[in-house]
A and B are shown apart, each in its own frame.
Chain A
Amino acid sequence: DAGITQSPRHKVTETGTPVTLRCHQTENHRYMYWYRQDPGHGLRLIHYSYGVKDTDKGEVSDGYSVSRSKTEDFLLTLESATSSQTSVYFCATTTGDSNQPQHFGDGTRLSIL
């Protein structure tokens, strides 16, 4: 949707390793978001960006960092992955204007063993 590609789609790694997830969009949307989805919690916002090099924390930002060096790319990094970060991660984008719903990627399933 809205030309959003997440990579990788699946990843299994070990506790303590660094992990980077990538979100690429072709719609030139200003805002980009990273969410995690866990049973019983729905979507929880990790970090978001409102422009190149402009980012802010969401409600569950501990243990995560982000970078946005280009409009089209938004990277999520787990510096030292923990088992509690096992989840499905979604990227979303929007223009940031009113009544512009967020468009979502297909998600990355991350397992930390």
Chain B
Amino acid sequence: DIQMTQSPSSLSASVGDRVTITCQASQDISDYLNWYQQKPGKAPKLLIYDASNLETGVPSRFSGGGSGTDFTFTISSLQPEDIATYYCQQYANLPRTFGQGTRLEIK
């Protein structure tokens, strides 16, 4: 199975800050990577697909990048409504696997 490792596991930042989360795959997955946002008590929501494509309706402050084994997810200017846990997910191989999540809090 492909292991997905996110860092950091948790992050505290101020409104307006630029926030970056990294996701590392245990083997080359090309750009077969998605990012999801999960707010407390809610279902996950797709934000970024194919590593860098913004899902329709998602604010442009969210972005993704990378390929191969190393990926980044960035919020350019943190907003209070961005408080959530973020997950990366690979689809290069079965089983589909997720990172362990990055919990984002407001400082």
Do the two chains belong together in a single complex? no
Residues of B within 8 A of A (CB): none
